[in-house]
C-alpha cells in the first residue's frame, strides 16, 4: 500500500488548548464536541486521518482496522501525535 507523504506538524498553543478542552470533556457525543474535533484534526494536519475515522482523541489501545488497511496506518499516526500532545500538555503543566 502506498505511503502518504508525511507532513510536518507544529503543535500550536491554540491546537494544544483545543486538545486539552476536548480531552477533558465528558460530553463526547455533543454537537459542540463533534464540531470541534474536525477543527482540531485540521490544525494538526490530520484531516485525511480523520476521514478514515481516526482521531488524536481516541484512547483505544490498538487500531480497530486490521494491518493492510490505510485506517490501521492512520491510527498509528494519530497515536503518535496524541502522545506528543499529551507530552506537551504535561510539559506545560510543569512550567
**Using one digit for the tens of pLDDT, what is the confidence trace for 39-72?**
999 999 999 999 999 999 999 999 999 999 999 9
pLDDT of residue 9: 58
pLDDT of residue 18: 98
6 has a pLDDT exceeding 60: no
Evaluate whether 24 touches 14 at the Cβ level (below 8 Å): no
Location of C-alpha cell 481516541: 58
If one compares 74 and 2, the residue with the highest pLDDT of the two is 74
pLDDT of residue 95: 81
Amino acid at each position: 500500500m502506498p505511503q502518504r507523504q508525511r507532513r510536518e506538524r507544529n503543535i500550536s498553543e491554540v491546537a494544544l488548548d483545543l486538545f486539552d478542552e476536548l480531552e477533558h470533556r465528558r460530553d463526547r457525543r455533543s454537537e459542540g464536541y463533534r464540531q470541534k474535533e474536525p477543527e482540531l484534526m485540521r490544525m494538526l494536519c490530520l484531516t485525511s486521518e480523520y476521514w478514515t475515522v481516526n482521531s488524536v482523541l481516541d484512547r483505544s489501545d490498538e487500531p480497530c482496522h486490521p494491518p493492510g488497511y490505510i485506517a490501521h496506518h492512520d491510527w498509528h499516526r494519530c497515536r503518535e501525535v496524541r502522545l506528543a500532545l499529551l507530552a506537551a500538555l504535561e510539559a506545560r503543566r510543569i512550567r
